[in-house]
Amino acid sequence: MIFSMQRREVATMAAAAAALAVLAGLPLADDGFWLALGISIASYVAMATAWALFSGPTNYVSLATAAFFGSGAYVVSALAESAPWPVILIAAAAVGALLAFAVGVATLRLSGVHFVIFTFGLAELIRQLVTWYQTTVTGSVGRYIFVEISAAQIYWQLLALCGLTFFIGWAIARSRLGFALRVIGDDETVAAHSGINTAQCKVLLFCISGTLIALVGAVMAPRFTYIEPSIAYGSMVSFQVVIMALLGGARRLWGPLVGVLPFTLLYELISGRFPNHTHLLLGIAFLLIVYFVPQGVSGLLVKAWNRMPWRRAAAAGSKA
């Protein structure tokens, strides 16, 4: 039942592909506010989904998103003039994977809370290192990024990354790795005693997640035009991704997606109406979410769906 591809899955995939195709038409309709909003949403969907690939099953809250995002962006700034775009993307992915591998191996023995702090510290550390490198070696903190790329092209690449992230998540769920992760999430001791190399699974997943986030950083880099460490490695992105993923529900592949939409709207609303209290209000919203919607919006949706009359009839029918 978890192995063979079901008709429903095929239908879901077809629907996802159709949705991506429709969304890809956005730049044709508008290339101002809505395209900018689309870019923002697509980048957060890709990042929050990639974040949840690792943090959903393992329950490890990573605040290293900024480290991956920033490193991806910095690869672009370093290579923009010397390498073609596809090579730049491959380099960004490689840097993300290597960074994730190093962090994963270094944090294997850390428990939950320590992991959170380590990953947060890591993003800050890398930011300081890049700052130090730029001031002592290149002589200036900031860099200009000149890449011939339009907003629409950025948007399409982000959509493609979203599609890739969902596809990877789907493939993992069907694999031994996905099965291992469910076991690890339930009981790590049982996992290890059943023959699961828990450390390897976690590092592998962290690498996949970090690679995807670094790619988002690379694709987004040309939007900045001018980057410096405090922009590329800004810790807000780490927190926003966590909030969005938890709001949507990190345990379902589509959970973060339904978290990004309300969050982005909430963010627009709060930062528009109360520009001086944005972070305070976001913090309060976050607390309320964690307290009242621990399963995330996706959890609520599933519950509501199962309460629908036709679902109840189906459940009763299958029992009889």
| 230 part of the interface to other proteins, by CB under 8 A | no
Phi, psi of 136 (to 5 degrees): -90, -35
| 186 part of the interface to other proteins, by CB under 8 A | yes
Phi, psi of 227 (to 5 degrees): -125, 150
* Residue list 1-30, contact with other proteins (CB under 8 A): 1-3
- Exactly one of 17, 187, 226, 283 binds other proteins (CB under 8 A); that residue is 187
The C-alpha angle with vertex 17 and arms to 11 and 21, in degrees rounded to 5, equals 140
| 176 part of the interface to other proteins, by CB under 8 A | yes
Q: Which two tokens stand for residue 186?
A: 């339930």
> Which H helix or E strand runs over 215?
helix 198-224
Q: How many residues interact with other proteins (rule CB under 8 A)? A: 21
- Exactly one of 142, 163, 185, 299 binds other proteins (CB under 8 A); that residue is 185
- Exactly one of 128, 135, 138, 194 binds other proteins (CB under 8 A); that residue is 194
Tell me whether residue 84 or residue 195 sits nearer to other proteins (CB atom): 195
Tell me whether residue 9 or residue 187 sits nearer to other proteins (CB atom): 187
Piece of the chain touching other proteins by CB under 8 A; list 25-33, 36-44, 153-161, 176-184: 176-184
Residues 6+ apart with CB under 8 A from 60: 54, 112, 115, 116, 202
> Which H helix or E strand runs over 143?
strand 143-144
| 192 part of the interface to other proteins, by CB under 8 A | yes
- Exactly one of 12, 153, 198, 235 binds other proteins (CB under 8 A); that residue is 198
- Exactly one of 20, 110, 151, 183 binds other proteins (CB under 8 A); that residue is 183
Between CA 168 and CA 186 the distance in angstroms is 22
Render the burial of 43-82: b for 16+ CB within 10 Å, e for the rest.
bbbbbbbbbbbbbbbbebbbbbbbbbbbbbbbbbbbbbee
Which positions touch other proteins (CB under 8 A)? Answer: 1-3, 176, 179-180, 182-183, 185-187, 189-198
